[in-house]
Amino acid sequence: MKPGLILGLTGSIGMGKSTVAGMFVRLGVPVFDADAQVRLMQGKGGELLPAIAAAFPGTVGPQGLDRAAMGALVFDDPAALARLEAIVHPAVAAARAAFLADHADRPLVVLDIPLLFEKGGAEHVDAIAVVSAPAATQRERVLARPGMTPDRFAGILALQLPDAEKRRRADHVIDTGVSLAETEAQVRALVERLTG
């Protein structure tokens, strides 16, 4: 048994996906946040730490994964990234399956998955909502983040499917280049449409 409808929520960096996920939660829709799950599993006492420490010595400390050290190892090394993903992805898939089982009685649930298209997650959902904003808005938001540089932003974008292609593949597009109230109205209307 599974929920009535599984909506995949995705969007490129800086598009406001986390903000939109919060709007779904406030409307009473259960949301599985893949990134938050990974942070939990890689944080202090996280279940993935032993396997990561064995595969990547020096990247795990008393507080959990040293994200900067890990980033330096995998950012320009596809083989290292694949080794890390082979540890992380099965654990996240198991957590996602448990979430779906826990909410099997709900008419709508959201899977918040940043790389939904890039990592083949689209087959796990019934419909896809893409969060999108103008490129200038996206750039401004991302470059305001601590430690972000134009080069790092460009590198992240290079790993993501272009926004225009995500919008083309989406069943629903949520515009975050408008006021929060306008975005929230779009989310509310989508929830009503999908559960009505």
Q: Say if residue 16 carries a ligand binding annotation.
A: yes
15 labelled binding-site residue: yes
For residue 81, the number of C-alpha atoms closer than 13 Å in the C-beta half-sphere is 9
Closest CA relative to residue 99, chosen from 44, 38, 33: 33
Order of strands, sheet of 5-10, starting from the edge strand that comes earlier in the sequence: 31-33, 108-112, 5-10, 127-132, 172-175
Q: Tokens 């298209």 identify what position?
A: 117
Is 17 annotated as belonging to a binding site?
yes
Residue whose entry in the numeric block shows the structure tokens 């959990």: 64
Helix, strand, or coil here: 64?
strand
Burial of 11 (C-beta count, 10 Å sphere; 0-12/13-18/19+): buried
**Any known ligand binding at 14?**
yes
Annotated binding-site residue? 147 = no
Q: Which residues are annotated as a binding site for ATP?
A: 14-19
Q: Which residues are annotated as a binding site?
A: 14-19
